[in-house]
Amino acid sequence: MAKNKFSKEWVMQHINDPFVKLAQQKGYRARAAFKLTEILDAEKLMRRGDVIVDLGSAPGSWSQVARERLVGKGGVLDGRILALDILPMEPIAGVEFIQGDFSEESVLETLNTMLDGAKVDLVLSDMAPNLSGVGMADAARVQIVIELALEFALMHLKPDGALIVKAFHGSGFSQVVESFKRHFKRVVERKPKASRDRSSETFLIAKGRKL
């Protein structure tokens, strides 16, 4: 019964959520688009000509935002967007999509082949593991996903490139921040307005690799 009540409450909050309504108006696939736009505007990231990798891309709202910002005159994409997710994603014009598990070597190899040695300007990771509700186990899962994104970024980013990852406050968060600070000159944390208040979700932005 309580679960039913909770589900109804969530549905009502979702329906009345101003960011959900705005996403529908603007044609974004998810309200998460506004989390990214706020971060990009604040950090002055993403410009035409960039090579962008979007990890955990489904349903595609972050790739939609990236495409908007890279499209030049005549609606031509100026730059590249490579998106990856374990789930299927409806096509987005100009976005190169790989369906697969990012933690699998064969999927990483496919992504590396598609990059063909090109260095990346911006790595986006909205990836989050399936959570069990067991604090320590979930913290470990989250940390693994973030470490995978960080490892990829360190291999592929340009020296002045940037990484944006979703993280969660709680066990292991401070270690994640320390790890980022070891590898990047500037690490900031942002919780965009579109991120729900009750959520422990936050975003780390790392810029300028320490070589």
User: Which residue in this structure is represented by tokens 């990012």?
Assistant: 102
Q: How many CA atoms lie within 13 A of 179 on its CB side?
A: 18
Q: Is 3 tagged catalytic?
A: no
Tell me which residue of 168, 172, 164, 175 sits closest to 202, measured CA to CA.
168
Asked whether 70 and 52 are in contact (CB, 8 A), the reply is yes
Q: Which of 166, 185, 191, 193 is catalytic?
A: 166
SS3 162: strand
Q: How far apart are CA 143 and CA 42, in angstroms?
A: 25
Any idea which residues carry the catalytic annotation? Answer: 166
